[in-house]
Amino acid sequence: MSLVSKGKSSINMRIRDLENVLRHRRIPYPKRSVEFIALIAISCTLFLFLHTKNLNSRLKEMEVKLQPSEFSALGLTGDNHIDESKHHHDRNTLHGTYQYLKSTGQLDYLDRSSLNNTPQAEKSLIFFNRVAKVGSESLMELIDELGKLHEFEVYTNEPKSKNRVTLPDDEQKDLAEAINELNEFSVYIEHVNHINFTKFDMPRPIYINLVRDPVERVISWFFYVRGSYSNAIKYQKFPNMPLKPEKWFKKDFNHCVRTGDPECVYEQLSTGGGGDYRRQSHFFCGHDKDCLPFNSKTAIQIAKKVVEKDYAVVGSWEDTNVTLTVLEKYIPRFFKGAHVLYNIHKDRIVNQNKNRRKPKIYDDVKAMIRKNFTEEIDFYHFCKQRLYKQYIALKLDDIRATGAFSKK
């Protein structure tokens, strides 16, 4: 019995020893296997890093592509409707633009010099390629008075029997050469699209212009071309022009829009040739065929880029004080004292070429038109926001000191 017990004890000891060996035993791996596992770990980490970085880049690209406008007067990557839930301000007003810049932190980084294209001009000569029916004749009157004060010459081209704001390259070059031959400290004014003087190896002038609410502008044009004064002047200068029928002169605008008269339809992406009156953006976009389609996103983006790159000031008589302030400060050689002269000659300036017989246009008619002027309206707001931004940059110290906008 003792032998049996001794045998069992011996077996149990051997089992225990074996368990201890197995419990503490380290199974060696080949050196290459260890290196392989480490390589896999490093590769996985690198893959995850690159994939995350690529995903982040793609998300940023998608964010930009989702914005409907490439340019923005507020220095953003989108149009007038970005993140309104977070920053609910009407950026189409001066006060709203200021509040938006303040709420987004852009106010602290406003650079007055970066908003002023005047120093980029290579010749002290103003090119005012005036948009039709935006009050440009009023600004012409003011410029004439300023010319007397500051001793500069004002030149305008003779009216043509047919408006041609779009020109082929050779005619653009001829006009650029004629303007370039004018003396320093001159102003040239004409209804013509933007001309790129650099394209023709000529010094850049100082570009200025005005804009107006597109719907109000197109309504104004409808009655302007039917006005007795404008027609009398036109037929006096061009007696061989065919007369319009009486029915055309008596056409009612409200009825014209509501009934779908071809003159009041404003068909999208249609082209009306070089004298197309519907688009003020045309005067900024230029002479290329991409600028021809009405209410085109492409044409609007080109026009915005030209404004930001070339124009010293694009003002509006809807914001007279703002416009005159920016003109005075950004182009002082020509516009110093603009406020004073405007107030002295205000009655004559504001009534220049004013249509006093325009009948009431109903809200539903204007709403119908606005649906077809979406891109033109976007461009108009872009120019106004840029003007407000220039003004705020000039008045920032006063605004901070008083907590409100100053009178001038």
Predicted confidence (pLDDT) at residue 396 exceeds the cutoff of 80: yes
What's the CA gap between 220 and 277, in Å, rounded? 11
User: pLDDT of 76-107, one tens digit each?
Assistant: 333 433 344 444 567 889 999 999 998 988 88
Q: How far apart are CA 347 and CA 353, in angstroms?
A: 12
Give CA–CA dist 279/370, Å, rounded.
Answer: 13
Which pair of structure tokens corresponds to residue 337? Answer: 């004292």
- In 3D, which of 256, 205, 192, 249 has the Cα closest to residue 224? 249
Residues of the chain with CATH 3.40.50.300: 113-402
List 88, 89, 191, 381, catalytic entry: 191
Residue 251 in tokens = 């056409």
pLDDT in the model for residue 75: 57
Write down the pLDDT at residue 354. 65
Rounded CA separation 176/184 (Å): 14
pLDDT at 66 > cutoff 50: no
Position 270 pLDDT exceeds 60: yes
pLDDT value of residue 41: 63
Kindly report the three-state secondary structure assignment for every residue of 130-165.
CCCCCCHHHHHHHHHHHHHHHCCEEEECCCCCCCCC
**Average pLDDT in the 181-203 region?**
96
pLDDT of residue 55: 44
Give the separation between CA 179 and CA 193, rounded to whole angstroms: 14
Residue-wise pLDDT for 195-222, tens only, equals 999 999 999 999 999 999 999 999 999 9
Q: What is the pLDDT of residues 301-332, one digit of tens each?
A: 999 999 999 999 999 999 999 999 999 999 99
Active-site annotation holds for 191: yes
The pLDDT of residue 18 is: 53
Between 157 and 69, residue with greater pLDDT? 157
Average pLDDT over residues 329-350: 94
What distance in Å separates the CA atoms of residue 288 and residue 399, rounded to the nearest whole number? 42
366, pLDDT greater than 70:
yes
pLDDT of residue 327: 98
* Average pLDDT of every residue of the chain: 82
- Does the pLDDT value for residue 275 go beyond 60? no
Pick from 313, 310, 308, 311: which is nearest to 324 by CA? 313
At 172, the pLDDT band (50, 70, 90 cuts) reads: very high
CA pair distance 211, 382, nearest whole angstrom: 10
Question: Both tokens of residue 307?
Answer: 């404004």
Residue 163 has a pLDDT of 60
> For residue 356, what are the contacts with CB-CB under 8 A and spacing of at least 6?
none
Domain 113-402: give its CATH superfamily.
P-loop containing nucleotide triphosphate hydrolases (3.40.50.300)
